[in-house]
């Protein structure tokens, strides 16, 4: 199933995406959609995290063609065009928040926004933790670090999965304010499991996955 969003120049185009876990029926089979600039909410009973990981290049698609900002793109080989950080990834454990930003930045066309980084550290209550390594931080604080990195990098495509899990109210409010600002930029944000944010953000589109390997974009 292919769904096109009504926009002259989508940031991301996906065509014919197929993926199946070993020994299981296809989770996606012929999935296609266009992501506009701004915020897109990803809704589904299942498959949300898998789609995020496919677009991040963390899982290999068995079939599919991708176009990012009008150019052919492969998630697995051109990860510098996308921002996705798993806060549970043990690979970050020995790094401080500043080092996580530095590790996520190489190869990107645009350098991280230093002023935005400082602003998001402050808004998310991370200033007092910036000299701690990630393994010293709580689950919520680790997630805040990855959110601050995503906001500072301003990649063409940013993927967020369960962005408010483990966050306190003040941090959720800060994230909402930052995403409302980001929504006006010519970038695409795909946000999965956006619990509590459904009525708080200016969604450009909603992508709903169905159980037959397809989806609907509205």
| pLDDT over 90 at 127, yes or no | yes
| Alpha carbons 91 and 129: distance in angstroms, whole number | 18
Decide: helix, strand or coil at residue 205: strand
Task: Quick: pLDDT tens for 96-110.
Answer: 999 999 999 877 877
CA 26/CA 46 separation, integer angstroms: 13
Q: Which residues pair with 216 in a beta bridge?
A: 208
pLDDT at 59 over 80: yes
pLDDT band, residue 2 (cuts 50/70/90): very low
Residue showing tokens 């944010």: 197
Determine the pLDDT at residue 125. Answer: 96
* pLDDT at position 5 over 80: no
Q: Once rounded to an integer, what is the mean pLDDT over residues 86-94?
A: 95
What DSSP state is assigned to residue 196?
A: T
* Tokens representing residue 132 in the block: 């701690």
Instruction: Work out the average pLDDT over 156-167.
Output: 95
Q: Is the model more confident about 111 or about 172?
A: 172
d(CA 45, CA 83): 24
Which residue, among 192, 193, 146, 188, has the nearest Cα to 171 in the 3D structure?
146
What's the CA gap between 152 and 120, in Å, rounded?
8
pLDDT class of 8 with cuts at 50, 70, 90: low
**pLDDT tens digits, 66-81:** 999 999 999 988 878 8
State which residues form the domain around 65. 2-217
CB neighbours of residue 46 within 10 Å? 9
Q: Mean pLDDT over all residues of the chain?
A: 90
pLDDT band, residue 218 (cuts 50/70/90): low
Q: For 71-205, where are the alpha helices, taking DSSP H only?
A: 97-104, 114-123, 139-153, 169-182
Residue-wise pLDDT tens digits, 128-138: 999 999 999 99
- Residue 217's pLDDT band, with cuts at 50, 70 and 90, is low
56: its two tokens: 């991040």
> What is the three-class DSSP state of 192?
strand
Report percent pLDDT > 90 for the chain: 79
Q: Specify the pLDDT at position 76.
A: 82
pTM equals 0.91
DSSP states of 94-106 as a string? T--HHHHHHHH-T
**Which residues on neighbouring strands pair with residue 215, listed in sequence order?**
209
Distance CA 164, CA 170 (A): 11
Contact 61, 18 (CB under 8 A): yes
Q: pLDDT tens digits for 18-43?
A: 999 988 999 999 999 999 999 999 99
Q: How many domains does the chain have?
A: 1
CATH of the domain at 51: 3.40.50.300
Name the nearest CA neighbour of 3 among 191, 194, 209, 201: 209
């Amino acid at each position: 199933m292919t769904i096109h969003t009504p926009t002259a120049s989508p940031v991301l185009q996906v065509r014919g995406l197929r993926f199946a876990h070993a020994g299981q029926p296809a989770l996606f089979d012929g999935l296609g959609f266009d992501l506009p600039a701004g915020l897109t909410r990803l809704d589904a009973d299942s498959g949300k995290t898998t789609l995020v990981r496919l677009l991040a290049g963390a899982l290999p698609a068995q079939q599919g063609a991708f176009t990012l900002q009008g150019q052919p793109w492969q998630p697995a080989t051109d990860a510098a065009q996308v921002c996705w950080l798993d806060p549970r990834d043990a690979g970050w454990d020995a790094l401080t928040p500043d080092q996580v930003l530095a590790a996520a930045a190489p190869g990107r066309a645009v350098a991280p926004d230093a002023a935005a980084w400082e602003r998001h550290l402050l808004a998310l209550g991370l200033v007092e933790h910036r000299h701690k390594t990630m393994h010293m931080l709580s689950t919520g604080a680790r997630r805040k670090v990855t959110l601050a990195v995503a906001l500072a990098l301003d990649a063409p495509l940013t993927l967020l999965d369960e962005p408010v899990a483990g966050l306190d109210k003040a941090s959720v409010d800060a994230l909402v304010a930052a995403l409302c600002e980001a929504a006006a930029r010519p970038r695409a944000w795909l946000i999965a499991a956006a619990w509590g944010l459904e009525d708080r953000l200016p969604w450009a589109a909603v992508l709903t996955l169905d159980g037959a390997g397809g989806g609907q974009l509205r």
